Structure formats: structure tokens, C-alpha cells
Structure 1
Amino acid sequence: MELTKLQRVVIDALEDVKAQDIRVYDTTKLSELFDRVIIATGTSNRQTRSLAMSVKEAVNAKGGEVISVEGLETGEWVLVDCGDIVVHILQPALRAYYQLEGMWGAKPVRVKLAADKGLVKASEPDDEE
């Protein structure tokens, strides 16, 4: 699946389960293993698990492949490996502690998010280099 389409599918799946503070980072110059890191916050173990399953189901439904899902047992930090995109879904305390944005956040990708927070519903990224 094309990267921008996969990115849109993942973001929409996260928004469908009300993920908070979704951030997308271009990692093409940082790692040869994947091209994007998406970080999102879930407010409880149940929500982080639901967010991960929403991403997995949406990617599979659109013909993409989810390589693995890790962390469902505790639900505090769930990682969904979609090949070109790695999704980190964390609870607020863990996200604040680990500061993944500091590791992967050198090149944010601008995306439009859902209207329920006063923003426009998902569309393709505004700028990719």
C-alpha cells in the first residue's frame, strides 16, 4: 500500500476510537526500517488496546499488512508495526516519561485531523519532501 494511503488509514482508525494528540513523523533519514512513526495517546488500558485493534483491522481491511502488535497484555504502551509505519499508542504518563517525540520528532509531517476537535476531517499530508 502506498505510504500516504497507509498513513491516512492509520490516522483515521486512531481518530475513530478518539485517540488524543496524534503526531506523525517522517523517519526516512533516521531509519531504513520504516518511513513514518505515528504517536498517539489513549486514556486507559482499554482504549489503547482498542486503538491498536482499530488500526490493525483498518489496515487489513484496506489490503495492507500488519506485521505485529505488541503490548496488548498490559495496554500501557501498544506498538503496531505496519511495515512502512510504526504506531506507538501510549497512556499519558508513559508518553510524557519516554518522550518519543525527542527520538523520532526531527521532521514532523503535517496532517489534518478530525472535525470533532474543531479541525477538518482527514486529508492527505500538506507537505512531504
Structure 2
Amino acid sequence: MMKPVKAVDEVRRIIQTALEDIKAENVVVLDVRRRTSITDFMVFASGTSRRHVKSIADRILEAAKRNAIHALGVEGEESAEWILIDLGDVVIHVMQLSAREFYRLEHMWGMESEDETSGFGEGS
């Protein structure tokens, strides 16, 4: 029997705790429900080095597994410059600062107003 899918707020809480524990920087959460049907929330976080980016992604994946949340996909682990973790209702981008500044994904979504973004963790 499959375990029930966790509520999106619970998934966000689990991710938030993992990001805070590993000291992810500049964490931003975008509510994209009105803009796309592929996910409900996008989370962006920066790491200080490739090792830190990889450690952040590993912490998120460990927390997800511990809480019976199945990752639909993980990309970029080899280079660890930008790792994407797809948890279904929540997609997480863990990036080195240089990649994050170059791609500016938060801005691409056109969500720069405070009512559509929220931060948590260090750097928010």
C-alpha cells in the first residue's frame, strides 16, 4: 500500500528545515500556482561552493526520503553548480551564487513583489 502524498505545506516545512540545518543562503520560495501547472512552489537556494551545493541537495533528498517523499527527478549532481530537485508540488533549485546571478530564474518568473515571494533561512 502506498503512503499518502504529503500536503504541499508539509513538504515546504521539511525543505525549510533541511535548508536551515545546512545553512543554505539566500533562500526564496515562489508560489507559482497561478503561473504554471507543473508545480506549486519553486524554492531557490545558494551554496558557497560546489561541495556546499551538493551537501544542500543531499540534505534535502535525505529529508524527503526520511519523510516518505519521493523525488521525481534530480539533475546536475555531477557538476554541482546547479542541482534541480523535483518533488512534484515543490521544485528546488540549489545553485552556486555565480550561476544564480547569471540565470536569474526568480526574475524570469516575473515574481519580484513581496506578496508573491517569501524567504526563509539565512540571507532572507
1:17 aligns with 22
Q: Between Structure 1 and Structure 2, how many residues are aligned?
A: 115
**Contact between 1:76 and 1:94, CA under 8 Å: does it hold in 2?**
yes
1:124 aligns with none
Deviation per CA, 1:39-95: give whole Å up to 9, x if none. Answer: 000011111111111101101111211111110100000001111000001101111
Q: C-alpha displacement at 1:31, in angstroms?
A: 1.1
Q: Which runs of 4+ in 1 moved over 3 A?
A: none
Q: Secondary structure at the match of 2:23?
A: coil
Q: Equivalent pairs: percent with the same residue?
A: 34
Q: Secondary structure at the match of 1:96?
A: helix
Q: What amino acid sits opposite 1:28 in the alignment?
A: R
Q: 2-side partners of 1:48 and 1:76: how far apart?
A: 7
Query: Of 95, 98, 104, which residue of structure 1 is paired with 2:100?
Result: 95
- The equivalences for 1:38-117 within 5 A come to 38-104=43-109, 106=111, 107-108=116-117, 110=118, 113-114=120-121
Change (3 A) 1:44 1:101: same
Higher relative contact order (CA 8 A, sep 6+): 2
Q: What amino acid sits opposite 2:103 in the alignment?
A: Y
Consecutive unaligned residues of structure 1, counting only runs of 5 or more, are 120-129
2:39 aligns with 34
